[in-house]
Chains A and B, each alone.
Chain A
Amino acid sequence: MVRVAEGDVEAYEALYHRYRNRILTFVFRYVGDRDIAEDLAQEVFLKLYRSPRSFDPRNRFMTWLFTVARNLAIDHLRKKKPATALTQEGEDGEFSLEPPEPLNQGPVDKTLLKEMEENLQSILMTLSDKLREVFVLCAMQGLAYEEVAQIVGCPAKTVSSRLARARRRFVEELDPYLSGKKSP
């Protein structure tokens, strides 16, 4: 990152190639739309390109990058929100988005994993923003609670409790498929 701040284009490109998929995946899981996620991911790296000095070298680079990505995703969702139906109030008092599309209707003999992979995004979109971001960062991107706490700006204990709630909700959402009540 120091090299990027000194104007090293190759270092910038190396960083881009190293982190592009992680950032894209994170943003996609957050906003739920592949095209928008691609745009936002590009914007994240443009921000890195334009103002590398805004990164504080005392922090971890990945944490900073995820913070930028999260802020852009939030901005996008805020702009989008008035047009979207707000259905239920989350546990933190925040609103969660209505699932954008019905859960996937796959064949019966698909494995659980495959089934879950297909429905993953739809289930994620039923979580509130706050729960979803913690879930994606911790349970999917494998970041530590402390790192996520830094990204979302709350104590690590809050991250832990949000993650537990998100996982519980996730299992609840998945349950109809596992128990066969909701035939996929």
Chain B
Amino acid sequence: MPLTCPDTEELFSRRIDARLSSVEDLAFIEHLDACHSCADAYYRYETIFSAVSGVPELTTVAPAPMPADSTNFLKPVQRKPLVPRWISAAALVLLLTGVGKFAFDFGRKTPAVFGPDRFSSLAQVDPTSIEFPAESPGRRLRRFRENADNLYHLARVSKTRQADPNRMVRVFDDYISGSPLREDLRFLRDMDQVSLGSFRVPVRQFTDDVGRLLAQIDFEIKRSGRAQLRIRRIQQAIERSEVRRQSVRLQQVSRFYDFPEISEEQRVTLRGESQNRGFSGACISLSFGFFEDASRRLEGVVEGGDEGLREPAAFFSLFRGLSARIDIKGEQLKGFGDIFGGSKLKVIATPSATDGQLIIELENLGPDGPKRHLIRFGGRNRPQKRALRLRPLRQARSRRL
């Protein structure tokens, strides 16, 4: 049953926590596909709370508190006193009466045990190194998601093109053995998933499902029998799995980690990231903080890749900071067709030296010749939040995968 706008708004919170059931999620996406204002409101909502969750923690340098009566702390382990109590008492009397200085230290806290030296060495431990492993889960997850997505696209392409089944089996075999899917799967399963916060459960479900799917595909690749039947079973396994849907739901997780640092004049190839929520054809999301650091210029090229193997939308994480979304007009950039046709989308983001504007130049190097789009953000006289007002496309629905 289709959702109404108020119903959809009720789901916003659970949606950004990835707590919707697949049925609810589908209805939600369908509603956003049809309702421009809800799509806008949801994007804004998501942007705000992504930013909230990224607000850094406070830090303290205070040492671990330990009270003077620290003997309480040790009580639980002293199930059997090592020496009888009368001996302890006698020793204490001796200490108190005989060796004044030591007795004084003993009665308080001995610096060797509780003093600042121990704390200073521990204070140097960077808490982030404990919370987040050096090998970031976000980076792994992003790559894992891309590779899992590509399996889905491979299945789609193999179906629509009616390619030679033997060849397609080999393509699946090559892809799975050549990609780091298994390695990433092991990493994501074994890592300390606490750092993923509320995404822990969906990430676990996703990795489990991909693991099962890989096992199924592996089985079909290795078994004997007609290639046509085997490839059909692989296609069915992929299409029936929840992997694709989960991957889209998890895209938010990748955003929280690993925003690449771009140095001055560095040329980067920006990899595509699914940003297609079902209501927008070709869109590009940018996270940027150019206004803070206006001396930098970023230039990138989105490459089309093999047909069907990449999402048309690209997610660029240039800098930590404000998120904005740019939608390229459907009539100028024809979504999937243009990018998958081997064309390139050149992106040049230049902070204007004069008034702090960010100018993003999109150049579609398609077969029909270059087409240019200039998008301007900000400027000293215009608040940056206007950048959030760009509207998503609606007419791209028919081109969705």
Interface residues of A, Cβ cutoff 8 Å to B: 5-7, 9, 12-14, 16-18, 20-22, 24-25, 28, 34, 37-38, 41-43, 45-46, 49-50, 52-53, 62, 108-109, 111-113, 116-117, 120, 138-145, 160, 163-164, 167-168, 170-171, 174, 178, 180
Contact = CB atoms under 8 A, between A and B. Distances in A.
A167 B198 contact: no
Task: Classify the interface of chain A: helix, strand, loop or mixed.
Answer: helix
Given A140-B53, A144-B198, A167-B49, A46 B67 contact: yes
B340 interface: no
Contacts of B119: 13
6 contacts: A17-B122, A21-B127, A28-B58, A113-B54, A167-B12, A180-B383
Contacts of B72: 50
Nearest to B380: A109
B67 A50 contact: yes
B19 A160 contact: yes
B55 A174 contact: no
A38 B383 contact: no
Contacts of A13: 64, 118-119, 122
A28 B199 CA distance: 24
A93 to B, nearest CB: 21
B309 interface: no
B398 interface: no
Contacts of A49: 64-67, 73
B55 A108 contact: no
Contacts of B48: 116, 170-171, 174
- Size category of the binding interface on chain B: 35 or more
A167 B12 CA distance: 9
Interface string B53-93: 11101111010111100001111111000000000000000
A41 B64 contact: no
Given A13-B122, A20-B62, A163-B13, A143 B57 contact: no
Given A42-B62, A111-B289, A117-B55, 18 more contacts: A5-B77, A7-B78, A12-B73, A14-B122, A25-B58, A41-B60, A42-B65, A43-B65, A45-B65, A49-B73, A109-B380, A109-B383, A113-B322, A116-B51, A140-B52, A140-B55, A160-B14, A180-B383
Interface in B284-327: 289, 291-292, 321-322
A38 B62 contact: yes
A20 B356 CA distance: 39
B60 A20 contact: yes
A111 B321 contact: yes
Interface in B342-401: 356, 378, 380, 383-385, 388
Contacts of B66: 9, 49
B151 to A, nearest CB: 28
B386 to A, nearest CB: 9
B59 A21 contact: yes
B45 A112 contact: no
B134 interface: no
Contacts of A170: 48, 52
Given A17-B127, A116-B51, A164-B12, A144 B201 contact: yes
A139 B75 CA distance: 39
A6 B51 contact: no
A19 to B, nearest CB: 8
B200 interface: yes
Given A140-B53, A178-B385, A24 B60 contact: yes
A160 B13 contact: yes
Nearest 3 pairs between A and B by C-beta? A142-B197, A164-B13, A16-B64
B67 A171 contact: no
B123 A112 contact: no
A53 B12 CA distance: 41
Given A17-B122, A18-B127, A111 B291 contact: yes
B293 to A, nearest CB: 11
A170 B13 CA distance: 12
A45 B198 contact: no
B76 A53 contact: yes
A7 B74 contact: yes
A20 B194 CA distance: 16
A165 to B, nearest CB: 9
B57 A180 contact: no
